[in-house]
Amino acid sequence: MENEIIKYLTKHTSLSDELIDIVIASTIIKNYKKGTVLLREGEISKESYFVLKGCVRSYFINDGEERTIEFYTEEQPVLPIGYGKGIPSGQYLECIEDSVLTLNTTEHEKEMFLKYPQFESICRIMTEVMMANFQESFVNYKITNPEERYLFLQKERPYLFQRVPQYQLASYLGIKPESLSRLRKRLNRK
Amino acid sequence: MENEIIKYLTKHTSLSDELIDIVIASTIIKNYKKGTVLLREGEISKESYFVLKGCVRSYFINDGEERTIEFYTEEQPVLPIGYGKGIPSGQYLECIEDSVLTLNTTEHEKEMFLKYPQFESICRIMTEVMMANFQESFVNYKITNPEERYLFLQKERPYLFQRVPQYQLASYLGIKPESLSRLRKRLNRK
């Protein structure tokens, strides 16, 4: 399964054979049971992940209500907000399926940068890729209404509709569960 | 004014005296008149900026309607979505005040990385900082309602209320201009 990471990295950057071996040798893979909370509000986030299998949900609790920010599935990096900043997080990260993740820590990254300076370049490029994805998600959310978001999700990530509870999907789309059922009914009639 | 960039960079990373000289020597500063469009939908974005003075608005046009994504003011980097990706942008970037910006291009960056490999590390860290800011903005937008966003803006960036036209502010908050005036009246009565 390490190959998934190599596949992901080589989509965006060119890795020498040497670096491929290093990445594979230094990758830590862990299994997490459904329901595992990887990060809680108030905790300091020191770990980042890459999803090999499963689904991680990122959410916040605001006025007692869960607000889902993202669902991370296969071949997506999970970078907690404030990762490596040393300040308490406001975020929750939870495995909503049995998941297989690679695990990365800030200490491990620092070590790698010292040992293999070429990693700086790869990490810069990968951070740029992640930022671009983030910018796109933000813009898409901001310029669309819930119906457009629903249709976009149906087209781009249809599998989420089977894998994710309805109330989480609703809050991800920025609406209440009741509005999601109404939206569904309306779209089914079309 | 180059010192503003050095100030910004040293907030997040440590620069050797040599690198400070290099950054200053390689910085291109340009003046832009109010109304200058730096990037248009359909164009390929090859330039990024840093605001020394003035204000750059980022927006999209969706169904004929402008949707403001961000206002970049003093000491903020402006990284267009899709910067360096070589694909046509959906974004507009416009100077809504007379502005002084530093100018960076993908070619210039590549040159710098070859000449001064230490730049990779600085760019990685700065990209991480920008990404963290982006993540925060996204989350704040997603977990708040327009009134909360308005109060947050009033607290964090009160100067925007003087510098930015009302209709742009409304779309930035995710509401119609009429709703913004109603919101204002309601808050003034409190």
Give yes or no for residue B2 having a pLDDT over 70. no
Res B58 pLDDT > 90: yes
Asked if B62 reaches chain A (Cβ–Cβ under 8 Å), the answer is: yes
What is the chain B residue with the closest CA to A114?
A: B121
* Cα–Cα dist B120/B61, whole Å: 35
A132 band by pLDDT with thresholds 50, 70 and 90: confident
**Which chain A residues are within 8 Å of B132, Cβ to Cβ?**
81-83, 85
- By the CB < 8 Å criterion, does B154 face chain A? no
Count of H-run helices and E-run strands, chain A: 8, 8
The DSSP result for chain A, as a single string, is: -HHHHHHHHHHHS---HHHHHHHHHH-EEEEE-TT-EEE-TTSBP-EEEEEEES-EEEEEEETTEEEEEEEE-TT-EE--TTTTT-SB---EEEESS-EEEEEEEHHHHHHHHHH-THHHHHHHHHHHHHHHHHHHHHHHHHHS-HHHHHHHHHHH-TTHHHHS-HHHHHHHHTS-HHHHHHHHHHHHH-
Q: How far apart are CA A55 and CA A84, in angstroms?
A: 23
The amino acid occupying position A135 is Q
In this complex, is the C-beta atom of B14 within 8 Å of any C-beta atom belonging to chain A?
A: no
For chain A, the farthest-separated pair of C-alpha atoms sits apart, in whole angstroms, at 60
Judge: B141–A141 Cβ closer than 8 Å, yes or no.
yes
Give the pLDDT band of residue B63 (cuts 50, 70, 90).
Answer: confident
Provide the percentage of residues in chain B whose pLDDT is more than 90.
Answer: 59
Closest partner CB to A143 (pick from B67, B85, B121): B67
pLDDT of A150: 96
- Paired sense of beta strands B99-105 and B28-32, if any: antiparallel
| Residue type at B38 in one-letter notation | L
% of chain A beyond a pLDDT of 90: 59
Tell me, yes or no, if A189 comes closer than 8 A to chain B by beta carbon.
no
State the pLDDT at residue A1.
65
Q: CA-CA distance, B24 to B28, in Å (whole number)?
A: 9
CB A38, CB A96: distance < 8 Å: no
Mutate to test the interface with A, among B131, B133, B147, B168 (most CBs of A within 10 A): B131
| pLDDT digits 0-9 by tens, A30-66 | 999 999 999 999 999 999 999 999 999 999 998 888 9
- Interface check for A10 against chain B (CB to CB < 8 A): the answer is no
- Is residue A26's pLDDT more than 90? no
How many angstroms away from the CA of A112 is the closest CA of chain B? Answer: 13
Residue with the two structure tokens 């609703």: A170
Which range, of A5-14, A27-36, B92-101, B143-152, averages the lowest pLDDT?
A5-14
Q: E strand or H helix at B110, and its extent? A: helix B106-115
- The pLDDT > 70 percentage for chain B reads 99
For residues A165 and A73, give the distance between their C-alpha atoms in angstroms, rounded to a whole number: 15
Does A129 contact chain B (CB < 8 Å)? no
Q: Which two tokens stand for residue B145?
A: 């309602």
Q: Which residues of A touch B141 (CB under 8 A)?
A: 138, 141-142
* DSSP per-residue codes, B1-32: -HHHHHHHHHHHS---HHHHHHHHHH-EEEEE
pLDDT for the residue numbered A179? 95
Query: Residue B176: its chain A contacts at CB < 8 A?
Result: none
* A128 has a chain B CB within 8 A of its CB: yes
What pLDDT, on a 0 to 100 scale, did the predictor assign at position B117? 83
What mean pLDDT comes out for the span B74-82? 91
Q: Are B117 and B19 in contact (CB under 8 A)?
A: no
- Average pLDDT value over all residues in chain B: 91
State the smallest CA–CA distance between residue A73 and chain B in angstroms: 18
- Tokens linked to A52: 């090999």
**Whole-number Å distance between alpha carbons of A83 and A165:** 27
Does the pLDDT value for residue A2 go beyond 70? no
Mean of pLDDT values over B97-105: 95
- CB neighbours (10 Å) of residue A125? 19
A134-173: per-residue pLDDT in tens?
A: 888 899 999 999 999 999 999 999 999 999 999 999 999 9
Query: What is the overall mean pLDDT for chain A?
Result: 91
Within 8 A of B168 by CB-CB distance, chain A residues are: none
What pLDDT is recorded for position A131? 86
Q: Is the pTM of this model over 0.90?
A: no
Give residue A156's pLDDT.
94
Task: Give the model's confidence band at A3: pLDDT under 50 very low, under 70 low, under 90 confident, else very high.
Answer: confident
Residue B50 DSSP one-character state: E
Q: pLDDT band at residue B50, thresholds of 50, 70 and 90?
A: very high
CB contact under 8 A, B135 and A134: yes
Cβ of B110 under 8 Å from any chain A Cβ? no
